[in-house]
Amino acid sequence: MRHGAMPALVIHGGAGVIRKDMHPERERAIRAALREALDQGQAALRAGRPALDAVTAAIAVLEDSPHFNAGRGAVFTHDGRNELDAAIMDGATLRAGSVAGVEHVRNPILLARAVMEHSPHVMLVGAGAEAFARTQDIVLVEPSWFRTEERWQQLQETLRHDAMGEHAAADHVRHFGTVGALALDMEGRLAAGTSTGGMTGKRWGRIGDAPVIGAGTWADARCAVSGTGWGEFYLRTAAAARIALRVELLGEPVAQAAEAVINGKIRALGGSGGAIVLDADGGIAMPFNTDGMFRGWVGTDGVPNVAIWNADEEARRAG
């Protein structure tokens, strides 16, 4: 581990943003939420706290916002419920914790961390995960906490298209939206976390990539990864671990490794999405192949940044 490292933080609020659907008021609210998440995570790092603390602090902010598909803004299942997934991983030790299919946990990322730190297991699901939550002073809420009218209407749209056999027409609300955070602390330790409501209209207890260690979430001593996109393709490619392995075994920079997986392997199979990647030197990559990806970062220069669109579009809007 590198002691006295300059800390860094990277977050995302999901890929799959549709430019035509982004009204100025909503865009301002999303950028403000991303900044607040950066502020909370950066405060932990500046105080000398471990990367895990920064990751959980940043993700908890995004889970409490109605603007992201995680926590309070989670999408609905086919049956009109919210089933939440989350994972966290400590790069220094390879410890990990995850939860899936929980319906009453206000901040699933906190429960995932409790699984990692206070249970002998890595993944807990459903009622068992919530029973464990009750032993850990994790805040539980009524399902109504997660309901937003926007997500409810997205479900109705998806159900209408499904009934008509027009699955492709609903893809823009079906597959996207996740939140994640990566941190590098002053001791040179990396951590990663991801939280999601999953896929709009999902059925039969479907679980995506976010809570699966190596698919949507990964951290080791060299790099940390959190993915966002069409989860089935991230599962099939072990996307997060594949990026990390390219860094470790091939010696690729994180930007090259991430590009090869997100815009290479996954796209070749018909999937789409994005990812954030952070290496042990503070190098950052944020590839995506959708209209936009909600993201923010504080590099080793200590300057916070938030973005939604590609670099050219961000410059045009700023001008």
Catalytic residues: 178
Contact 294, 276 (CB under 8 A): no
What order do you get walking across the sheet with 273-279 strand by strand?
217-219, 223-229, 273-279, 284-285
Bridge partner list, 297: 10, 305
- In one-letter notation, the amino acid at residue 229 is G
Contact between 247 and 279 (Cβ < 8 Å)? yes
Quick count: other Cβ atoms within 10 Å of Cβ 119? 15
- Other Cβ atoms closer than 10 A to 6: 16
Q: Which amino acid is at 164?
A: M
CA distance 268 to 274: 14
Alpha helices in the chain (DSSP H): 24-46, 51-63, 108-118, 126-134, 149-163, 171-174, 231-237, 239-250, 254-260, 267-268, 311-318
